[in-house]
Amino acid sequence: MADYDRAKELKAFDDTKAGVKGLVDAGIVHIPEIFVTPAITENEFSAQNLECSDIVNVQIPVIDLEGINEDDFRHRKIVEEVGEACETWGFFQVVNHGVPQHVMDEMISGIKSFHEQPNDIKMRFYSMEPMKKVMFNSNFDLYQSKSANWRDTLACLMAPNPPTNDELPEACREELLQYSEHVRKLGHIIFELLAEALGLKPNHLLDMECARGHFIISHYYPPCPEPNKTLGITKHTDPDFFTILLQDQIGGLQIYHKKQWIDIHPVTGALVINLGDLLQLLSNDKFKSAEHRVLAKQIGPRISIACFFTTQLQPFERLYGPIKELLSDENPPLYKETTVRDYVYYYNSKGLGARPSLLHLRI
Ligand code: OGA
Ligand code: NI
């Protein structure tokens, strides 16, 4: 398109403050050019089109946390399963994780209500300012990425120094507070399991203050009239220690594993856990921060809630690098140290779909 002024179109979309849902509500039948993703090639969509079903049917491990503190044998078995999943996939699902089903259901419907409330109320939360503790926007990396994604997001930094209750949107305030408390507790359990799986004392990662912050990013993926031309989220890794993801039953999340895209099918009652770049760094590459993406779909909306364990851009000077206890002459450090803030800042400045940010710290 000769007369296509991308910068102008991006700005116009940003100025609507209505996100992708605003476009869908306006009844568009073709997606605007800013969302068209030229890199979606056969390879990008291969998992959908593959004839060979044995690859597509591979599933990430589902780990049952039942009895985790009651029985030593069970506990050791769970640690082993977690370690294996982190080394081979960087992704797993957990069931019997202690977050009640009603809390998850209410969170999903609270977030749906937030995104579906009248625009004039929702717009008050619209911001592209990354230091804000509560912000609604569409594509945090709108001006950095090559193509925009079919997704709107409400992001709330719940710790440290959470926003006051009044600052949280009324449409999902109670649900957010309730879910945040449950997911924080589960996060602690996961940090202990990860430490043990690395051969460290259970509280090692907690003592390093890895659980100091958590950031809840609640996505709304509207139905897309041309799902083969864009993505819900571009391929990326997460810039945190790990993420706990709650998704509804729509599907679309995929992980890039052994050069194939694998669907992560929603499992009722389960939460998805995926390791982020900072845990790959701490573990000196023993554990993986796996690349993943979300397809756009004709059906929807799809709701997903990602809880990132990170202090994001908050001032916090602690340095993180490969854990000394894991290093040896045969296993020298592969990464330089960083603060969480510097890392997130660098990651955000590149936008999704860029060269993996961890390479920037590679020794
Ligand atoms: C993310 C993410 C996946 C999803 O927020 O980083 O990968 O299913 N989300 O929404
Ligand atoms: Ni992600």
144, exposed or middle or buried, with CB in 10 Å at 0-12, 13-18, 19+? Answer: middle
Domain count for the chain: 1
Please report the pLDDT score of residue 40 as a whole number.
Answer: 65
Please report the pLDDT score of residue 320 as a whole number.
Answer: 98
Q: Copy the structure tokens of residue 308.
A: 């990132």
**Residue from 238, 242, 272 whose mutation best tests the ligand 1 pocket (most atoms within 8 A of CB):** 238
Tell me the residue range of the domain where 206 lies. Answer: 6-361
Residue with CA at minimum distance from ligand 1 atom 2: 306
Q: What is the distance between the alpha carbons of residues 121 and 300, in angstroms, rounded to a whole number?
A: 22
Specify the CATH number for the domain of residue 202. 2.60.120.330
Please report the pLDDT score of residue 3 as a whole number.
Answer: 63
> Is the pLDDT at 16 greater than 90, yes or no?
yes
Contact (CB, 8 A) for 233 and 297: no
Residue 325 inside a domain? The answer is yes
List phi, psi (to 5°) of 204: -55, -50
Residue 1 inside a domain? The answer is no
Q: From the CA of 290, how far away is ligand 2's center (Å)?
A: 9
Residue with CA at minimum distance from ligand 1 atom 4: 304
Residue 142 inside a domain? The answer is yes
Q: From the CA of 290, how far away is ligand 1's center (Å)?
A: 12
Residue 344: which of 305, 324, 316 has the closest Cα? 316
pLDDT band (50, 70, 90) for residue 4: confident
Please report the pLDDT score of residue 134 as a whole number.
Answer: 98
Please give the share of the chain, as a percent, with pLDDT higher than 90.
Answer: 92
Chain segment 255-297, per-residue pLDDT in tens: 999 989 999 999 999 999 999 999 999 999 999 999 999 999 9
Report residues whose beta carbon is within 6 angstroms of any ligand 1 atom.
217, 219, 233, 238, 245, 247, 253, 292, 294, 304, 306
Residue with CA at minimum distance from ligand 1 atom 1: 306
Residue 324 inside a domain? The answer is yes
> Is the pLDDT at 52 greater than 70, yes or no?
no
Residue 229 inside a domain? The answer is yes
Q: From the CA of 274, how far away is ligand 1's center (Å)?
A: 10
Q: What is the distance between the alpha carbons of residues 152 and 174, in angstroms, rounded to a whole number?
A: 21
Mean predicted confidence (pLDDT) in 80-103 = 98
Residue 189 inside a domain? The answer is yes
Q: 317 in helix, strand or coil? A: coil
